Structure 1
Amino acid sequence: MAIWASELALDRWRHSENCKAGEDADSEPLALITETAHGPRIDAANAAGRAAGAAKGMMLADARTLCPAIAVRPSDPAGDLAFLERLAIWAQRWGPWSAMDAPDGLLVDVSAVAHLFGGERRLLADVEARCSARGLSVSAAIAPTAGAAWALAHFAASGAVLGPEEDIAARLADLPVAALRLDNDVLLVLRRLGLKRLGDLTSVGEGRGDEQRGRDALHRRFRNRKSPAANPLIRMDQLAGRVPEPLLPVVPLTAALVQRRLLEPIRHRDLLDTVVRDLAEDMARELEGRGEGARRLQLGMWRVDGEVVVRELEMAAATRDPAHILRLFTARLDDVDAGFGIEMVRLRASWAEPLGLDQTDLEAAAEAHGTSLAACMDRLTVRLGKGAVQRPVLKASHIPERAQGWQPPLEAEPATQGQLAFHTRPIKLLEPAEGIAVLYASPDGYPQRFRWRGEVFEVARVEGPERIAPEWWREKGTARLRDYYRIEDAKGRRYWLYRLGLIGDGRGGAPEWFVQGLFA
């Protein structure tokens, strides 16, 4: 079954404005717009706006020429996609699984379930009635294949049913080629060839003596296009059921959630700590039953006046220790304003990872006393802020400044990146490298005297060069080579210098010199 929400963006906007289709929201021209490089563009328009001349894809300046009184609101594609995902989960009341057909449709598997609703017709009537009650304008259809159901929902009357015994190609022959879900450029090519209906695709080459009349002609034209949306042959086979069409079902994931509705609103901190302790213990039991540990926890506190105070924690490692959770939240509740009182407290694990039961060991004992490494990282993060505690990791790059990265302290190192063998590297790297002025260079190319940070250095010993080429897969072809030197001055201080570019390499002016690092 295909469900097409033709005005999904507007319906979601009406939901946010607490109004229904046909009410005041549709009495005046309205358009949802998005900002582009050439100015605002219309993403959707209501019935009054379309009657006044506004259309999807039109620039707002052109629409205002036709309808100066049109009202505009910002569109939210990300919000529309999230709304469609929630709608897909809700639509599973009609079938065991559902898939999103972005940006405004759903596909629901209704195999062997229509009799539970009294047949296909009553099932479609139930879909339209329940969607209408939710303020959604939809068109639904049932067919043996997803492609055929999509074509009927978009280009036939709502409530159309195509039985498994019917000839799909013959039944849909009068529908436009746009019913194949093809890209716009492919549709343009088909229209220029005079192929406007699905029936035209199967009659190409008739009367010319070709045994494979239609398919051969289309195959020659689109043989290099492998994507289903760019090849009408693949789409026709999917529509007729000759080629399977994989779909990705939406799997609902429910986050672990515990809450307390209080008989009397609380205002004092010690009472709030008691409630949070109870919630932490409930959350530990809930996560243990799921075999998971929390990485991110959200604590919501509903006040009597309707305000919601939210505090969020993100742990360095998955945990379900209630004492540790309470200890972290204690440091985040000092600035909570209870107002006239808090009447409900909710704890939600928005990010959880698998965490099995472990036998008590030294680390568990340390966790019980709050001295484990994970507990230490969490405390530092709460005190110093998110992102302040990180550790360096090696990266697969021979460019010095790219050979190291940063990641959360307890994350596992990437296993796919091999370690590269380098020559001696300095302990301290400057980020970024600092330019120097070479006062005199030897005929071999390395500096004998240079100025850096206002001081002149005399070079006593030199080792090098070590040539490092640019990463051609990341940088432009004009990137210059680097020649690195390990240099010691007259006072025994050692530096890692490099020359950027060669004389006459055709990739810039004269070579430049930089200090990249300092040896101990």
Structure 2
Amino acid sequence: MKAPNSLSAPPPFPPRRVLAIWCAHLAIDRWRQAEGCRRGEGADAAPVVLVGESAHGPRIAAVNAAAHDQGAAAGMMLADARALCPGLVVHPADPGGDLAFLERLALWAQRWGPWSALDPPDGLIVDITGAAHLFGGEQALVADAVRLMQGRGLAARIALAPTAGAAWALAHFGPQGAILSGEEDIARRLGPLPVAALRLDDDVQLLLRRLGLKRIEDLAMVERENLARRFRNRRAPAANPLVRLDQLLGRLPEPALPVIGVEAPMVQRRLMEPIRHRALLDRVAADLADDMARVLEGQGQGARRLELGLWKVDGDVIFRQLEMSAASRDPAHLVRLFAARLDDVDAGFGIEMVRLRASWTEPLALAQSDLEAAAERHGTSLATCIDRLTVRLGSQAVRRPVPQASHLPERAQRWQPPLAPVRTSQEEFEFHHRPLKILDRPESIAVIYAAPDGLPRVFGWRGRRHVIARAEGPERIAPEWWRERSSVRLRDYYRIEDEEGRRFWIYRHGIAGDGRGGLPEWFIQGLSA
């Protein structure tokens, strides 16, 4: 019997409900919106392909229906597709733009649930737990999602299930608008689907098909210990069918990274009369910089990237972007940087609106200035100097080298932005003696030596013959096994001096009889004073 003052057990949490949205033709749909045409009409009536660069040449990333009917397909080389369809209309693919569009779509999809996550490259996951009653039930919510996605011109397949894996499988391989209720429904409805519905890598799917496991229900016919033994060395979920199966059934958690919308600070001026002169434009830019400084100060932020938009009377829009090395909200500094970006602006019939937006901000706390800092205001700080150089020379021209943890000389250094923090560790700085100048790439040298595993006596480099007078070494450097294949050979480095006093840093690539190739090769990698 329950005690009079005992509390009853709290009601259980509602079961999780996940909505999966698969935009099957995201890139083409986005291109169609940019062209302002409907499906099968206008520019979309011709066979259109979106092409990206690959190591072997242009490769098709997406096709429309007309191109697909004529034999073109995603993943095909452009030259092969032209052989089947000479009249292809080619446009460049934009994976970065597609991802940005998908992020905006994820924020818009939060109308159906409290949070959403990306499922790259063309899908979304929306958690609608406890929100279906706001739309009149799950059937009405799914119908509303299908209708609104079609209204945005997107060919989307939508499914609802208790887990993200089950919803993904139904959206890709099930009927449109399918809804699963519980774990028993998952096992019954998803069993006949192919193993590709488990979101496995291509090589794992090929292996399962060779084993005769073509459907999800076929995995239940195999002892779990046998599958666990076969895939015990595969830790990634996409490489282990047991992990994916447990995630599908809700036995293992599948964390997702929600998309959080952050409003970028923005200020603007709608001008009473269009302006055409540079002096007036500088005055408007200075006013916007003051407004932006007040907004950022109120939020405790500093701008790292600013975008200035100029709306012209004729409908044209001009954008100028500025990226700074450190967070700043100094109006005078911002105005000086933008002055160099406005020299080539053609106002035409006039500019009627100017907008300044901080697309990248970082925390910047208030700091009390020194009472004697008035004299320093006429000077230039390091961050200000770097920003001016970046505006004048470009972001790729202003970099600094920093050490990197690698024993291989060509990997022991990397380039990064000037004021970015440097990772410090004892391993990164404990190097042996290195020459003053290291070649961009090791150059092959012709050597004459008494034995393949010994030091050369004479070597030829860039058309000159060098007789070795003194040598020091070797310093053996093993290959980085976590990056290289097992066939990579060892290196033995020597510091040598020829008869004329010139000093070099050379190495032997490989050891005679190591079973990783033929005779060792010799290279020169550095010059010493």
Q: Deviations over 1:312-369 (max 9, x none)?
A: 3333322111122123323443443322211121222233222111122379656644
Q: Among 495, 501, 504, which residue is 1:483 paired with?
A: 495
Q: What pairs up with 1:112-261 in 2 under 5 angstroms? A: 112-164=130-182, 166-202=184-220, 204=221, 214-261=223-270
Q: Secondary structure at the match of 1:498?
A: strand
Q: Normalising by structure 1, report the TM-score.
A: 0.79
Measured in 2, the distance between the counterparts of 1:9 and 1:497 equals 57
Q: Secondary structure at the match of 1:263?
A: strand
Q: Residue type matched to 1:226 in 2?
A: R
Q: Secondary structure at the match of 1:481?
A: strand
Measured in 1, the distance between the counterparts of 2:211 and 2:411 equals 53
Q: Is the contact between residue 30 and residue 49 of structure 1 (CA under 8 Å) also seen in structure 2?
A: yes
Measured in 1, the distance between the counterparts of 2:524 and 2:252 equals 62
Q: Is the contact between residue 97 and residue 249 of structure 1 (CA under 8 Å) also seen in structure 2?
A: yes
Unaligned 5+ segments in structure 1 are: 206-213, 437-444, 490-494
Relative distance call for 1:175 and 1:366 in structure 2 (3 A) is: farther
Relative distance call for 1:130 and 1:370 in structure 2 (3 A) is: farther
Partner of 1:8: 26
Q: Among 497, 504, 507, which residue is 2:503 paired with?
A: 497
Q: Among 314, 324, 328, which residue is 2:333 paired with?
A: 324
Count of residue pairs the alignment pairs up? 491
Q: Secondary structure at the match of 1:359?
A: coil
Q: What pairs up with 1:277-316 in 2 under 5 angstroms? A: 277-316=286-325
Measured in 2, the distance between the counterparts of 1:147 and 1:64 equals 38
2:361 is the alignment partner of 1:352: yes
Q: How far apart are residue 135 of structure 1 and its match?
A: 0.5
Q: Secondary structure at the match of 2:214?
A: coil
Partner of 2:11: none
Measured in 1, the distance between the counterparts of 2:490 and 2:198 equals 46
Q: How far apart are residue 127 of structure 1 and its match?
A: 0.7
Partner of 2:527: 516
Unaligned 5+ segments in structure 2 are: 1-18, 446-454, 513-517
Q: Which structure is larger by alpha-carbon Rg, 1 or 2?
A: 1
Relative distance call for 1:266 and 1:414 in structure 2 (3 A) is: same
Measured in 1, the distance between the counterparts of 2:523 and 2:197 equals 61
Measured in 1, the distance between the counterparts of 2:39 and 2:183 equals 38
Q: Is the contact between residue 10 and residue 44 of structure 1 (CA under 8 Å) also seen in structure 2?
A: yes
Q: Deviations over 1:46-86 (max 9, x none)?
A: 33444444444455566566655554444333333332222
Q: How far apart are residue 262 of structure 1 and its match?
A: 1.2
Q: How far apart are residue 40 of structure 1 and its match?
A: 5.2
Q: Is the contact between residue 305 and residue 361 of structure 2 (CA under 8 Å) also seen in structure 1?
A: yes
Partner of 2:429: 419
Partner of 1:110: 128
Measured in 2, the distance between the counterparts of 1:262 and 1:372 equals 35
Q: Secondary structure at the match of 1:346?
A: strand
Q: Is the contact between residue 255 and residue 349 of structure 1 (CA under 8 Å) also seen in structure 2?
A: yes
Partner of 1:209: none
2:88 is the alignment partner of 1:82: no
Q: Residue type matched to 1:143 in 2?
A: A
Relative distance call for 1:338 and 1:41 in structure 2 (3 A) is: closer
Measured in 1, the distance between the counterparts of 2:84 and 2:406 equals 57
Q: Deviations over 1:396-452 (max 9, x none)?
A: 5678887766654434333235433766x88x658679999xxxxxxxx999xxxx9
Partner of 1:275: 284
Relative distance call for 1:323 and 1:138 in structure 2 (3 A) is: same
Q: Secondary structure at the match of 1:125?
A: helix
Relative distance call for 1:482 and 1:113 in structure 2 (3 A) is: same
Q: Normalising by structure 2, report the TM-score.
A: 0.77
Relative distance call for 1:199 and 1:382 in structure 2 (3 A) is: closer
Measured in 2, the distance between the counterparts of 1:411 and 1:238 equals 39
Q: How far apart are residue 6 of structure 1 and its match?
A: 1.7
Measured in 1, the distance between the counterparts of 2:370 and 2:212 equals 76
Measured in 2, the distance between the counterparts of 1:453 and 1:367 equals 56
Q: Is the contact between residue 439 and residue 525 of structure 2 (CA under 8 Å) also seen in structure 1?
A: no
Measured in 2, the distance between the counterparts of 1:200 and 1:401 equals 50
Measured in 2, the distance between the counterparts of 1:41 and 1:317 equals 39
Relative distance call for 1:407 and 1:245 in structure 2 (3 A) is: closer
Q: Secondary structure at the match of 1:157?
A: coil
Q: Is the contact between residue 265 and residue 292 of structure 2 (CA under 8 Å) also seen in structure 1?
A: yes
Measured in 1, the distance between the counterparts of 2:263 and 2:463 equals 58
Q: Deviations over 1:151-206 (max 9, x none)?
A: 2222222111112475321232233332222223333333344433333322x15x
Q: How far apart are residue 281 of structure 1 and its match?
A: 1.0
Q: How far apart are residue 299 of structure 1 and its match?
A: 2.2
Measured in 2, the distance between the counterparts of 1:351 and 1:289 equals 16
Measured in 1, the distance between the counterparts of 2:520 and 2:224 equals 59
Partner of 1:439: none
Q: Secondary structure at the match of 2:429?
A: coil
Q: Is the contact between residue 434 and residue 515 of structure 1 (CA under 8 Å) also seen in structure 2?
A: no
Relative distance call for 1:54 and 1:221 in structure 2 (3 A) is: same
Measured in 2, the distance between the counterparts of 1:222 and 1:418 equals 36
Measured in 2, the distance between the counterparts of 1:67 and 1:75 equals 19
* Greater Cα shift, 25-34 or 248-257: 25-34
Q: Is the contact between residue 367 and residue 375 of structure 1 (CA under 8 Å) also seen in structure 2?
A: no
Relative distance call for 1:374 and 1:366 in structure 2 (3 A) is: farther
Q: Secondary structure at the match of 2:422?
A: coil
Q: Deviations over 1:89-138 (max 9, x none)?
A: 22112112111222221110001011111111111111111111110111
Q: Is the contact between residue 4 and residue 140 of structure 1 (CA under 8 Å) also seen in structure 2?
A: yes
Q: Residue type matched to 2:290 in 1?
A: E
Q: How far apart are residue 481 of structure 1 and its match?
A: 1.9
Q: Secondary structure at the match of 1:20?
A: coil
Measured in 2, the distance between the counterparts of 1:28 and 1:453 equals 58
Q: Secondary structure at the match of 1:167?
A: helix
Measured in 2, the distance between the counterparts of 1:39 and 1:257 equals 42
* Greater Cα shift, 465-474 or 325-334: 465-474
Q: Is the contact between residue 255 and residue 348 of structure 1 (CA under 8 Å) also seen in structure 2?
A: yes
Measured in 1, the distance between the counterparts of 2:439 and 2:196 equals 55
Relative distance call for 1:331 and 1:478 in structure 2 (3 A) is: same
Relative distance call for 1:398 and 1:134 in structure 2 (3 A) is: closer
Measured in 2, the distance between the counterparts of 1:129 and 1:116 equals 17
Partner of 1:337: 346
